[in-house]
Amino acid sequence: MIVRPKASLFDILFAVRGSIAGRVAWRCLFITVLACLVVYVGNFHFEPLSHLGTAPFGLIGIAISVFMSFRNSAAYDRWWEGRKQWGELLVQVRSLSRELSDLDDEAKKRIFVPLIAFVHALSARLRDEDEIAAARTWGIIPSAGPNVCDAILRQIGAELLALNKTGVLSDWRYTSVATRMNAISNVQAACERIKTTPLPFAYTLLIHRTVYLFCALLPFALAPQLGWGTPVIVAFISYTFFGLDAIGDDLAEPFGSADNSLPIRALVRTMERETMDFLGMGPLPDELQPVGYVLL
């Protein structure tokens, strides 16, 4: 996720780090060079599509803008839903800490150390990394089944049930804690749903193709009226469309590693630090800070 201080006018105009400009630069450059070629060739009275004028492209541009706004809105909904789920996970971990604060140190570690491992494993699962390796960083070796995260939750659930059977947790407290564990499981399921149910491919493909064709054909319509001003206008328009397209791609994959994806590692580190402090473990790892204005 891009994290920047309040932008000055200079930052707004010229900032590159933490912006989308670097990712779309080569596409904008290609369209700008194409516009220059169209103007140059047009000087020899070869002006294909010039008879169409700019009116059709204006209508098409408005249609594309509306279409892209719907797509980016759907992509942002996915991004925001992912952020809410990780916020809910943090709430449930904190609530468990309060409800089980009176347990002895060993019992706490048998519950909360695997819980830290679960958070790391869930992050790895959502980013297509090694879940088992992530859990092993905390000394937890879950079964190598199809769902490592769920195996860790079952391990924690078995420990809570054992505490209930020995009378350490009364029935009503066990019910409350089990509700928390179900909420954590629901967070995992919601995140998996977001990850495994992308925006329809045909929908995204249509946007990509339409944007490329529009930007590639636009110079032919503008060159007869604007001359060498065409490359400037085309560069600005292509930057806008390609940038919105790229941002939509990032938001549609909230658990990825793109600049605009969610800062999953930072959220994991927050839960790790707070749980370690609850357990009296130290030294605490440092909070993750943005690197180049990007928080992972």
Q: Above 70 in pLDDT, residue 94? A: yes
Q: Above 80 in pLDDT, residue 273? A: yes
Instruction: Give the pLDDT confidence score for residue 200 in this predicted structure.
Output: 84
From residue 42, give the alpha-carbon distance in Å to each of 18, 45, 231.
38, 5, 13
Comparing CA positions, the residue from 192, 184, 75, 181 lying closest to residue 124 is: 192
Higher pLDDT, 84 or 14: 84
Q: What are the pLDDT digits (tens) for 153-171?
A: 999 999 999 999 998 988 9
Q: How confident is the prediction for the chain on average, in pLDDT? A: 86
- Say what the pTM is: 0.86
Q: Above 70 in pLDDT, residue 275? A: yes
Instruction: Give the pLDDT confidence score for residue 195 in this predicted structure.
Output: 93
Q: Which residue has the tokens 């946007």?
A: 207
Distance of CA 105 to the CA centre of its chain: 36
Q: Give the confidence band of 110 by pLDDT, cuts at 50, 70, 90.
A: very high
Q: Above 70 in pLDDT, residue 144? A: no
Instruction: Give the pLDDT confidence score for residue 45 in this predicted structure.
Output: 58
Q: What are the pLDDT digits (tens) for 200-247?
A: 888 888 888 888 888 888 888 888 788 888 899 999 989 988 888 888
Over range 146-152, report the average pLDDT: 90
Higher pLDDT, 182 or 69: 182
